[in-house]
Chains A and B, each alone.
Chain A
Amino acid sequence: MVKSTRFIGYIGIVLLVVGLAGWAMQLAGGLFTTTGMTDIFLWGLVIAMFAFMVGFGAGAQLVASAIYLFGKDELKPLARTAAAVGLACVAAAGVAILADLGAIRNILAMIVGLNLRSPLAWDMLALTAFIVVSVVQLVMIARDARSTKVWVILAGLCAVVLQIVEGLLFSMQSAHAWWATPIMPIDFLVVAFVSGSALMLLIACVKGAPQTAVAWLGRLCAWAIAVHLVLALCDLGLVALENSPVSGGVLAAIGTQLPLYLCELLLPAAAMVILFAMGRSGKASWGLWASILAIIGIFCHRLMLLYPAYNAPSLYLQLGGATTGPYPVSTGRYLDWDQTFALATNYVPAFPEWLAALLPIGVAIIGTFVLLWLMGKMAPAKGGMAADAGAAEGARGSEAAES
């Protein structure tokens, strides 16, 4: 293994160990003492991480599928990496959900007596379907089988379904005006394109992939960001136009997180401008910066999935035909907490949550390495071209990164 690749591998192992330690702290101490969540703010950093990682997973797969669909043969080594990254990130997202459960000892109930009306059940099924199809696809790619293209495209379809289901998981909750829009599932899909192309752009730039690859990914990412920003602003517009007490609460909650909200809009916007300016030149340094900005922006976007949803009250009372105001909720907190009942709680992730949030990243990195290694092992003796090309590309990339 080349130096830079090995370095990333070490980082992956550290993240994995630290993340597991965070999860262990949560299991041992209970979510009460180890997180900042409340009965108002029900999902925190780890769920934001879940939505973040699943976007990379589905998105990287979509990049791989697009390369095969459009017959971009020169990009096939990249597609191979993208498909492996896709599976590793989706598996990492699954780990994030598990790490967030409060009573994982009852997990068998997810299999025996699954409620097929629940979007979380759809989510589990979509995740499983994606993982199964993706594994077959990776074997096909590794073996350079004739039916590879079919499987890669099938995995792409699974990625589309997965992202739409993730969107529905939120948009079907009518108790949260910030989520209950028809835009949510579409935007989840578009964000997957942004995340996947940004991540692959980052990898391509670090690995020193050919300029054509960088340029192609840059264009894909820039257009995806453009569509995402339009959808995000439409979403905001829909809420603002509603002009109800509930939507007023959402806008107020956005206001209290304004710096985060501005980051979610401005960082990807800056990345988009850089990428459009980069154009066909495919300058790796430009692509690198743009992808980093886009990824941080999408992380802010994922955090902002939660704040305006949970910190906007859903129940308003009426008196004499007039709406009087929102009704307080029991926070579930005591002793260390000054409010037993509140309308909103200021969520700040606790230290073990930050640690646990690193677990999915560790899983994704180590998962990618293991998958690529296994695929290398599986390569047929005669037709190992794809694998060789991938390895050669990797070596080239690392040399470029080191120089």
Chain B
Amino acid sequence: MRYAMAIDLGRCIGCRTCAVVCKDFNAQPQGIWWNRVFTSGTPEYDVAVKVNDQLRMEFVPISCQHCTDAPCETACPTQATYTDKDTGTVLVDYDRCIGCRMCASACPYGVRQYNWGAPAKMVGLDGSVYRYGWPHEYRDGDHLVYTPERPEGVMEKCTFCAQLTSQGQDPACCTACPGNARIFGDMDDADSPIRRYLEGKETYTLGEEYRTEPNVYYIAAHGVSQVNLLSTGAEGEEANHG
């Protein structure tokens, strides 16, 4: 089995539901975001950029790419970061992590998130602390790969929701996405949802220059359907209607 995710940017409306659901479902402590959504070409969210004389706004969600040749795994001295042989998912064992941050330093995608201290609890407006997220710890064999109470000083990141996928369910972000932009499945199974979805579609992966062979596949947004009024003026409007 080789778990993978397809993200169809043509369907992504930039609502950031996946980022919020991910944070909530996986009980991510304050300051920690396994998944994030930004607009291509700007550090600000929701801003258009000029590309080939067109104003474009494409939302790109990015979380762990579950690289086949994962630099984080090579860098980790303790094998706390490892690839689950059954699924190809890259996981972190909180019980083995020494908090050296080699892995985060080696990851070109900036998706690893570190517990710089004892994880801060979420505090409500009335000062009360509340719990959220999947309430049980989840172990892959001996490895502690999820617990709602994070130990201090360990690294964490997207697990493809190992606690769900091990039950045959989709990761939380795939279920929650209102645009159905995220499709999960087994790349080794020709009949899996992801394989069927990707059939005939052109995909690309991020940071190809780093040769990490990601297992997250992106489908570029559809072509530009509008002529840029800024550059063509009134004629553009005609062209647009015609």
Contacts and interface: CB of A to CB of B under 8 A. Distances in A.
Task: Note whether A and B form a binding pair.
Answer: yes
Interface of A: 29-33, 35, 37, 39-40, 42-43, 97, 100-104, 106-107, 109-110, 113-115, 117-121, 124, 172-176, 313-315, 317-322, 324-335, 337, 340-343
A322 B49 CA distance: 11
B80 interface: yes
B110 A327 contact: yes
A175 B43 contact: no
Interface in B201-228: 204, 206-207, 210, 224
Interface of B: 30-33, 36, 38, 40-43, 49, 51-52, 54, 56, 58, 60, 62, 71, 74-80, 95-102, 104-110, 112-118, 120, 151-154, 204, 206-207, 210, 224
Nearest to A325: B41
B40 A319 contact: yes
Contact of B52 (A102, A107, A320, A340): A320
Given A39-B104, A109-B79, A119-B75, A30 B116 contact: yes
A317 B61 CA distance: 11
A341 B44 CA distance: 9
B4 to A, nearest CB: 19
Given A31-B116, A324-B40, A343-B43, A104 B49 contact: no
Contacts of A102: 98-101, 114-116, 152-154
13 contacts: A101-B98, A103-B99, A106-B99, A121-B77, A173-B75, A322-B51, A322-B52, A324-B41, A327-B38, A332-B114, A332-B116, A333-B31, A334-B31
Given A39-B104, A325-B43, A332-B113, 11 more contacts: A32-B116, A32-B117, A118-B102, A175-B107, A313-B110, A315-B62, A327-B40, A327-B62, A335-B30, A340-B33, A341-B43
A186 B231 CA distance: 52
Nearest to A113: B79
Nearest to B208: A318
B156 to A, nearest CB: 10
A106 B97 contact: yes
A29 B101 CA distance: 18
A334 B153 CA distance: 16
Given A319-B56, A340-B31, A314 B80 contact: no
B206 to A, nearest CB: 7
Given A103-B99, A314-B108, A320 B152 contact: no
A100 B40 CA distance: 35
Contact of B32 (A29, A319, A330): A330
Contacts of A31: 116-117, 153
Contact of A315 (B71, B117, B206): B206
Contacts of A106: 78, 80, 95-99
B58 A319 contact: yes
A115 B79 contact: yes
A107 B98 contact: yes
Contacts, number: 188
A110 B151 CA distance: 18
B71 A175 contact: yes
A317 B114 contact: no
A238 to B, nearest CB: 16
B114 A325 contact: no
Contacts of A104: 98-99
Contacts of B115: 102
Contacts of B206: 315, 317
Contacts of B40: 317-319, 324-325, 327
A181 to B, nearest CB: 15
Contacts of B106: 172-173, 175
Nearest to B105: A42
A240 B93 CA distance: 39
A124 B109 CA distance: 27
A257 to B, nearest CB: 19
A332 B78 CA distance: 23
B79 A30 contact: no
A11 to B, nearest CB: 30
Contacts of B207: 314-315
A324 B57 CA distance: 11
Contacts of A176: 105
A39 B98 CA distance: 16
Contacts of A342: 43
A321 B56 CA distance: 13
Which 7 residue pairs of A and B lie closest in terms of their CB atoms, listed nearest first?
A: A30-B117, A102-B99, A324-B41, A102-B153, A32-B117, A329-B110, A32-B116
A40 B79 contact: no
A335 to B, nearest CB: 8
A3 to B, nearest CB: 42
A192 B213 CA distance: 37
Nearest to A179: B105
A320 B224 CA distance: 9
A31 B118 CA distance: 9
A342 B62 CA distance: 14
A342 B45 CA distance: 11
B104 A42 contact: yes
Contact of B78 (A113, A313, A343): A113
A325 B108 contact: no
Nearest to B82: A115
A109 B80 CA distance: 8
Contact of A328 (B32, B38, B74): B38
B212 to A, nearest CB: 9
B181 to A, nearest CB: 16
